[in-house]
Amino acid sequence: MKVLMAVSKDDIASRFDLTVEVVIIKADEGVVFPEPRELLLSEPSGDELCALAVNEAVDLVVCGGIDEVHYEYLMWKKITLIDGVVGPYREALKLLADGLLAPNTIVPAVAQ
Amino acid sequence: MFQNANLSNLLDGIPHAVVLVDKKLNVSRMNRRAEALTGRNNDDAFGIPADYILRTSLHPFPDFFNPVLQERQIVVHEGDVLDRNRKIIPVRFSISPIESNSDDLLGAMVILEDLSLAPYLQEKGAGSDAFDGIVSLNQKMQEVGEQIPVFAGTDASVLIEGETGTGKGFVAEKIHHASKRSGYPFIKVNCGALPEPLLESELFGHVRGAFPGAENNKPGMFRLADRGTILFTEIGDLPLTLQVKLLTVFDDGEFFSLGSTRKVAMKARIIAATGRDLKEMVREGQFREDLYYRLNVLRLRLPPLRERTEDIPLLIDNFVKLFSSGNLVPHFDKDARSVLLDYSFPGNVRELRNIVEHAITLSHGETMKREHLPEYLLQGIEAEKYASIWGSGKKADTHDAGGDANGRGTKWDDVEKEMIIEALRKSRGKRSDAAKMLGWARSTLYRKLKRHDI
C-alpha cells in the first residue's frame, strides 16, 4: 500500500490545503518499508497535492484535516482518506502498520 | 469576588468558540461552541497543540501569539478554520493574554468569531426581517414568510414538509436565526445519510469504550447543538428504534450518551423536515404516531415550484444577481428564458438556482443563451419524461422507493440513471458539482449512485 502523508516537520500537517511537505511511503500490514520519499512543494495547494496523490498512484492519504472539495475528489479517485489525525507522522505510520490508525486519531505521543 | 466562579459556565455563555491555551499553546480548555466547531471534546483536546485542534490558516501559528505572550497585547486577525464537517469557515481570531492575580502570564484566550454569519447579522441590523431571502409573489410562500417570525418566537418543535429543493433547510435556518437561539449552533442531521448504529452515536454521542472502535469520547449532535436548534432532515428515514429514543428525549428532556450512566439535559429546539408524507407513513406503521404528533406542533408546508410558477421570473433575476460578479449583471435572452419558463423544475428552487449558476459560468458574464443552459433542459423528450413523472405531484422520496405497478418506476429509474451519468460526465466526475447540476443534495446523489450501482 502506498501512503501519502501531509506533514509539517515531524508531525502530521493540520491542513491538507495549507501543507507544503509530503512524505510518500510504502506500508503493509505489520511492516513500514524504510526510506520514505520526502517532497517539498513550492507553495501550499490542495489541487497540486491531489494531482500528486493521483500521479503517484497512492492508495491512502493521511492528514490532520482536509476540506470537503479535496476530500470528495480523492474519494472519487478511489483513494482512501484518514483525516483528523494529530501527532508525529512516524508514530502514526506505526499505528497504520498495526491497523490501528482511524480518522480523528490523536496519536498518544502528541501531548507535550 | 469571582475566584470560585465556574469557568465552564462562563465560557459556555460566550456566543463564540473560545479556546484557552497555556504558554506552550497547548489546549487547556474549550467551550461547547469550540467543541462543536472542532469536533473534539475537552478531554481529548487537553494538552494538544491548539493549531492541530483548531486547524487554522494562521501560519506559522506561534508567530501570532508572540505579541500576546511577550508584550501582553490583545491582537485580532482574520483567517479561517477547518471545521468538523470539513468546511472552511472564515473566522476573526481575538487573542488576549491570561494573567494571574500576581501578573504572571498563564496563557492566552482565543475567541473565534464566525464571520460566515456576518452578512446575515448585517441584514438583521439594517432592519430587515425573517422574510428576507424568500423571493415570492405566491400567497402560500408569503404565508410561510409571515409564519417564520411567529414560529421563531416559540420553542415548540416544527415540522417542515416539502419536496426536495423547496428550501426546507433554508426556512429552518431562518427560524433559528430569527429566534433567541441564534447565538447558539444550528446543527443539521441527515437521518437518511447514516446507518442506524452510526446515527445513534452521531445523535447521542458515546463514551470511550462504549462499543468496539469507540476509542474517544464523542459529544453527539444533541450536545453540540447546546441551546441552539437541531434540524433533522429526511426525518421519515429515521429507523423505528431511533424514533423511540427520540420520543424519549422529547418526553424526558434528557438523554444518555452510548455507554454512559450520566444524564445530559436536552436544551436544543427540534425542527424536522421531510419530503415524505409522514401521516401516510404513520398509517402504514413506518413512523410512530406519538413522535409524529410531538414533531407536528407547528407545521409548514413549502409548495413546489410548479405550484408557484409566478415566482420563476423573480427567482431567475434574483439568482442572476446573486451569482454575477462585478457591476455588469448578465441576462437571459428571450429564447433561453422561455426554455426556463416552460420547464417543470422537479428539483425545485435548488435546481433553478443551479441552472442559473451553470448558465452564468458558461456565458462568461455575457448574455445567457440557450446553449448556456444544461443540456438535459434542451433534450425535449428527456425533459418530457422527467416532467411527466415529477409533474404527477408525487413527492421526491416516493420515487426513491422504487417502481410502481404501472412500471413507471422502471422507466424513471432508467431516466434517472442516464441523468446522473450525464451530470457526472459534465462535471468530470466531481460528485458535488453533479449534485448541483441535478438540483439534489450531495447525500441524495450518493444514495442514488449506490442504488443505481454507478
B185 beta partners: none
DSSP state of B304: P
Say yes or no: B283 contacts chain A, CB-CB below 8 A.
no
Cβ-based contacts of B449 with chain A (< 8 Å) = none
**How far is the CA of B269 from the CAs of B235, B239, B436, in angstroms?**
15, 21, 30
Cβ-based contacts of A106 with chain B (< 8 Å) = 44, 48, 216
pLDDT at A14: 95
Say yes or no: B85 contacts chain A, CB-CB below 8 A.
yes
Beta strands B158-161 and B186-190, pairing class: unpaired
Say yes or no: B51 contacts chain A, CB-CB below 8 A.
yes
Inspect the interface and report whether the beta carbons of A15 and B431 lie closer than 8 Å.
no
Cβ-based contacts of B85 with chain A (< 8 Å) = 68
Q: How far apart are CA B170 and CA B167, in angstroms?
A: 5
Give the dihedral sign, CA B27/B32/B34/B39. positive
Whether the CB-CB separation of B33 and B185 falls below 8 Å is answered with yes
Q: How far apart are CA B373 and CA B370, in angstroms?
A: 6
Whether the CB-CB separation of B233 and B189 falls below 8 Å is answered with yes
pLDDT at B97: 92
Give the residue from B355, B368, B320 showing the smallest Cα distance to B426: B355
Q: CB B285: neighbour CB atoms within 10 A?
A: 9
pTM above 0.90, yes or no: no
pLDDT at B412: 60
**Grid coordinates 408524507 are at which residue?**
B277
**How far is the CA of A41 from the CAs of A46, A62, A77, B58, in angstroms?**
11, 17, 21, 19
pLDDT at B4: 65
Q: Could you give phi then psi for residue B19, rounded to 5 degrees?
A: -130, 130
Q: With the CA atoms of B26, B31, B33 and B39 taken in that order, what torsion angle do they form, in degrees rounded to the nearest 10?
A: 50
Q: How far apart are CA B203 and CA B8, in angstroms?
A: 23
Q: How far apart are CA B203 and CA B221, in angstroms?
A: 5
Q: How far apart are CA B38 and CA B339, in angstroms?
A: 45
**Grid coordinates 469504550 are at which residue?**
B209
Q: How far apart are CA B374 and CA B363, in angstroms?
A: 12
What residue in A sits closest to B433 (Cα-Cα)? A69
B308 Cβ contact partners less than 8 Å away, ≥ 6 residues apart? B136, B137, B138, B140, B141
**Chosen from B51, B86, B433 to mutate, greatest number of chain A CBs within 10 A:** B86
Whether the CB-CB separation of B106 and B26 falls below 8 Å is answered with no
**How far is the CA of B364 from the CAs of B15, B39, B330, B431, in angstroms?**
41, 39, 9, 23
Beta strands in B25-82 (DSSP E): 27-30, 75-82
Q: How far apart are CA B41 and CA B31, in angstroms?
A: 9
Q: Which of A14, A68, A102 sits opposite B55 (nearest CB)?
A: A14
A76 min Cα distance to partner chain B (Å): 7
Inspect the interface and report whether the beta carbons of A71 and B86 lie closer than 8 Å.
yes
Say yes or no: B86 contacts chain A, CB-CB below 8 A.
yes
Inspect the interface and report whether the beta carbons of A72 and B85 lie closer than 8 Å.
no
Give the residue from A60, A71, A64 showing the smallest Cα distance to A106: A64
- Burial of B274 by CB count in 10 Å (0-12 exposed, 13-18 middle, 19+ buried)? buried
pLDDT at A86: 95
Chain B, window 348-367: residues with a beta carbon less than 8 angstroms from a chain A beta carbon:
none
Cβ-based contacts of B432 with chain A (< 8 Å) = 68-69, 72
Inspect the interface and report whether the beta carbons of B86 and A18 lie closer than 8 Å.
no
- Could you report the predicted ipTM of this complex, rounded to two decimals? 0.92
Inspect the interface and report whether the beta carbons of A18 and B57 lie closer than 8 Å.
yes
**How far is the CA of B272 from the CAs of B121, B217, B240, B294, B423, in angstroms?**
25, 27, 16, 11, 30
DSSP state of A54: H
Inspect the interface and report whether the beta carbons of B51 and A14 lie closer than 8 Å.
yes
pLDDT at B2: 60
B207 min Cα distance to partner chain A (Å): 15
pLDDT at B65: 92
Beta strands A31-32 and B27-30, pairing class: unpaired
Q: pLDDT tens digit string along A66-97?
A: 999 999 999 989 999 999 999 999 999 889 88
Inspect the interface and report whether the beta carbons of A83 and B48 lie closer than 8 Å.
no
**Chosen from A8, A15, A83 to mutate, greatest number of chain B CBs within 10 A:** A15
Inspect the interface and report whether the beta carbons of A84 and B49 lie closer than 8 Å.
no
| Region of residue B112 (phi > 0: left; psi between -120 and 50: alpha; otherwise: beta) | beta
pLDDT at B206: 85
Q: pLDDT tens digit string along B273-327?
A: 999 999 999 999 999 999 999 999 999 999 999 888 888 888 888 888 888 766 6
- Which helix (DSSP H) or strand (DSSP E) does residue A22 occupy? strand A21-28
Amino acid at B22: D
Residues of chain B with pLDDT under 50: 120-131, 381-383, 385-410
pLDDT at B298: 93
**Chosen from B38, B42, B52 to mutate, greatest number of chain A CBs within 10 A:** B52
pLDDT at B137: 81
What residue in A sits closest to B50 (Cα-Cα)? A14
Whether the CB-CB separation of B132 and B279 falls below 8 Å is answered with no
Q: pLDDT tens digit string along A19-65?
A: 999 999 987 766 666 678 889 988 899 999 999 999 999 999 999 99
Cβ-based contacts of A71 with chain B (< 8 Å) = 86
Q: How far apart are CA B230 and CA B181, in angstroms?
A: 11
Q: How far apart are CA A76 and CA B419, in angstroms?
A: 18
Inspect the interface and report whether the beta carbons of B432 and A69 lie closer than 8 Å.
yes
Cβ-based contacts of B87 with chain A (< 8 Å) = 67-68
Inspect the interface and report whether the beta carbons of A111 and B82 lie closer than 8 Å.
no
B299 min Cα distance to partner chain A (Å): 33
Q: How far apart are CA A99 and CA A60, in angstroms?
A: 13
Q: How far apart are CA A93 and CA A30, in angstroms?
A: 10
